[in-house]
């Protein structure tokens, strides 16, 4: 820590508010009180490939048995429900940008538990249209915070050239085929890349981004999201 950071740290109040319930907590809790943390839907036993919480002692989930996801591995902090959903919605739609640091801190713990060799961090881009409406990319905020915590460089490797229509009601396979061509490479990737996003649903977005990175020389692609969805999506 730099001297100026140490001084600022010493001057700022030792107590902060829990980002979920508002209770006063010590700064060392990184934004979430013990009570709320106990209620976070943290992943327990995850699929080795896609990282979804399978709650059995199987190595892979049923879906990964059937599909060829292009990324090496994906992991997430929690299931997309309860307080995890609250945090994602506030970060994404409520302009609570400070939450990125709190969420990235939890993502760093999962990151540290993997044995991934990473050269650089990137993020799932948003379209120019969404950027105009929302003003920021929540995935980039998470990536920037994680970059600070890990010391890894954060780079924009792709642009999103079009938005998808609503995905509700689409089958699993349709979600993958709909993605074709939504990303365009923006910079040459290094060989080992980590993609950061807020939520993983089927993995179709991460898969498409991986495809573009691999087509441009990337060898290993890992994915880290704050939450992953366990909602069942019809296979056909």
Give the closest residue to 222 by CA, choosing from 183, 192, 186, 191.
192
Q: C-alpha angle with apex 87: 153 to 202, nearest 5 degrees?
A: 75
- The answer to whether 20 contacts Zn ion (rule: CB under 5 A) is yes
- The answer to whether 7 contacts Zn ion (rule: CB under 5 A) is no
Question: Phi/psi at 76 (nearest 5 deg)?
Answer: -145, 165
Q: C-alpha angle with apex 34: 33 to 37, nearest 5 degrees?
A: 85
Closer by beta carbon to Zn ion, 20 or else 126: 20
CB of 66 to Zn ion, least distance (A): 10
| Number of Cβ atoms within 10 Å of the Cβ of 2 | 7
Task: Write the interaction track for Zn ion spanning residues 189-228; mark x where CB under 5 A is met and - where it is not.
Answer: ----------------------------------------
Q: Which of 46, 64, 146, 194 binds Zn ion (CB under 5 A)?
A: 64
CB of 87 to Zn ion, least distance (A): 11
Sequence-separated (6 or more) residues with CB below 8 Å from residue 24 = 15, 16, 17, 18
Q: Which of 7, 8, 15, 21 binds Zn ion (CB under 5 A)?
A: 21
Q: Given the rule CB under 5 A, which of 63-71, 115-123, 187-195, 197-205 is the region that contacts Zn ion?
A: 63-71
Residues that bind Zn ion (CB under 5 A): 18, 20-21, 33, 36, 47, 49-50, 61, 64
């Amino acid at each position: 820590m730099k001297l100026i950071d140490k001084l600022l740290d010493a001057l700022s109040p030792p107590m902060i508010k829990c980002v979920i319930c508002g209770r006063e907590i010590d700064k060392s809790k990184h934004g979430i009180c013990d009570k709320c943390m106990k209620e976070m839907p943290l992943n327990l036993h995850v699929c080795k490939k896609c990282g979804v919480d399978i709650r059995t002692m199987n190595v892979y989930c049923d879906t990964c048995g059937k599909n060829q996801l292009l990324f090496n591995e994906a992991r997430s902090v929690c299931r997309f429900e309860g307080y995890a959903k609250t945090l994602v919605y506030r970060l994404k739609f409520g302009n609570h940008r400070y939450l990125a640091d709190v969420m990235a801190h939890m993502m760093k713990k999962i990151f540290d538990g993997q044995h991934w060799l990473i050269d650089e961090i990137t993020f799932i881009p948003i379209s120019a249209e969404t950027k105009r409406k929302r003003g920021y990319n929540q995935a980039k905020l998470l990536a920037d915070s994680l970059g600070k915590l890990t010391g890894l460089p954060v780079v924009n490797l792709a642009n999103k050239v079009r938005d998808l229509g609503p995905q509700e009601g689409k089958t699993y396979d349709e979600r993958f085929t709909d993605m074709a061509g939504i990303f365009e490479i923006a910079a040459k990737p290094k060989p080992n890349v980590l993609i950061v996003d807020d939520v993983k649903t089927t993995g179709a977005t991460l898969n498409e981004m991986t495809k573009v990175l691999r087509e441009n020389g990337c060898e290993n692609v890992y994915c880290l999201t704050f939450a992953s969805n366990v909602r069942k999506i019809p296979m056909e």
